[in-house]
A and B are shown apart, each in its own frame.
Chain A
Amino acid sequence: AQSVTQLDSHVSVSEGTPVLLRCNYSSSYSPSLFWYVQHPNKGLQLLLKYTSAATLVKGINGFEAEFKKSETSFHLTKPSAHMSDAAEYFCVVSESDSWGKLQFGAGTQVVVTP
């Protein structure tokens, strides 16, 4: 069975400061892990994915995430927040035996202040 826990429901950062969004997962097999972003009234946009290649994954818009199997974590970071980063972020897991269906975390709302 798989599950995803996003440790923060709400993160507030100042523009230009680092962003850290935390995600832990539980998985029976080798998972694929994703981070998606959702802006208001929009669909989900893929930021990055981990699929058992390099453990440090670089994504779009300066985001990156590190897969740590020993800690079952897949935290998302960005060195310098921009106002346009204000959105809802979802950590998502897909098991190799789940026939492709995604399991979503509860989401982290990011607020960026000037």
Chain B
Amino acid sequence: GEEVAQTPKHLVRGEGQKAKLYCAPIKGHSYVFWYQQVLKNEFKFLISFQNENVFDETGMPKERFSAKCLPNSPCSLEIQATKLEDSAVYFCASSPGRTNQPQHFGDGTRLSIL
């Protein structure tokens, strides 16, 4: 598609439950990035993929966070045993190249942990 599609728009989970977020990148874009927006204006890089391969995972809290981009499927970001501090808006972005190419963002998934 022409837009990055993120589902669901909102996700509510009790503390300790699992949360799974999905992202369909723009067709033809081989790079996918996940960011976490906390407190409205603080963006944190989580992970990036080149096609189905993890490219950079330096921002991932590895104990509970995992992500995949499999062929012919939306990319996913999964959080096990959620904590209150995981409440945030999670954005997915895609781009045709790694550097000097703007990233196109989806509308985000708002995750609320109760």
Q: Which residues of A contact B (CB under 8 A)?
A: 32, 34, 36, 41-46, 49, 51-52, 88, 90, 94, 96, 98-102, 104, 106-107
State the Cβ distance, A72 to closest chain B Cβ, in Å: 19
- A101 contacts B45, C-beta separation under 8 Å: yes
DSSP majority for the A interface? loop
Closest B residue, CB atoms, query A47 = B102
Q: Which residues of B contact A (CB under 8 A)?
A: 4, 6, 31, 33, 35, 40-43, 45, 48, 55-56, 58-59, 91, 93, 95, 98-108
Contacts of B100 in A (CB 8 A): 32, 51-52, 94, 96
Among B6, B35, B42, B104, point to the contact of A102 (Cβ < 8 A): B35
Contacts of B59 in A (CB 8 A): 101
Among A43, A45, A94, A99, point to the contact of B91 (Cβ < 8 A): A43
Contacts of B106 in A (CB 8 A): 43
Beyond A46-B104, A102-B45, A107-B40, 18 additional contacts (C-beta under 8 Å) are A36-B105, A41-B107, A43-B4, A43-B107, A46-B102, A46-B103, A88-B41, A99-B56, A100-B31, A100-B33, A100-B48, A100-B98, A100-B101, A100-B103, A101-B48, A101-B56, A102-B33, A102-B103
